Amino acid sequence: WERPIPPATEAELTGGKKRKRPDFTCNILDRYAVCTEEFEIMFHIECKCLGALRSPSWNFNQNYVEKGIKRFDCTAHEYGKRAVSGMMVGYIISMAPAEILDEVNSYQTRHCSHNPAIECELVEEKVGQYRQQLTRKNTQPEVFKLTHLWVDLTNIQTCVS
């Protein structure tokens, strides 16, 4: 589940990406692939907390964009490389989903201006799924579907023994 993105060609054996890895990786093997780049396709999942500002130096919603979404189109990380889709999981620990969505889209406008806004019909559910069609500039394939799965943990009661 947790490992660096493996090289598929000789050219990919160089570089400093070996410590750059998403939170979860699932791989799909295509035994009928016509080239080595298509034999093993990774599905990457990056997870982040969402909610109100905890401190001036740690902004959950900004990190969701800068240290999450942005990594799916970044030469330093290359999440979703050679895959047509990937996933962001957001753990809502405070704030209403509509407020979070506005903030996340605002940070995207500033830090990933070529990305479209995350669009969804917000429902009062504990788990929401949203989609975003990206046109990537730094990672192939260019057309990429990023699914956002947001889990509302704001009213979860914990058991203490």
pLDDT of residue 1: 44
DSSP letter string over 133-148?
EEE-SSSSSSEEEEEE
The answer as to whether 1 is a domain residue is: no
The answer as to whether 51 is a domain residue is: yes
pLDDT less than 70: residues of the chain: 1-19, 121-124, 157-161
The answer as to whether 45 is a domain residue is: yes
The answer as to whether 158 is a domain residue is: no
Domain that holds residue 123: 10-152
The answer as to whether 56 is a domain residue is: yes
Q: In 3D, which of 9, 26, 1 has the Cα closest to residue 140?
A: 9
pTM above 0.75, yes or no: yes
pLDDT of residue 13: 43
pLDDT of residue 62: 96
The answer as to whether 46 is a domain residue is: yes
pLDDT of residue 14: 52
Beta-strand ranges (E) seen in the chain are: 24-29, 40-50, 85-92, 127-135, 143-152
13-56, pLDDT tens digit by residue? 455 455 678 899 888 888 888 887 778 888 999 999 999 988 88
Query: Per the structure, how many domains does the chain have?
Result: 1
The answer as to whether 3 is a domain residue is: no
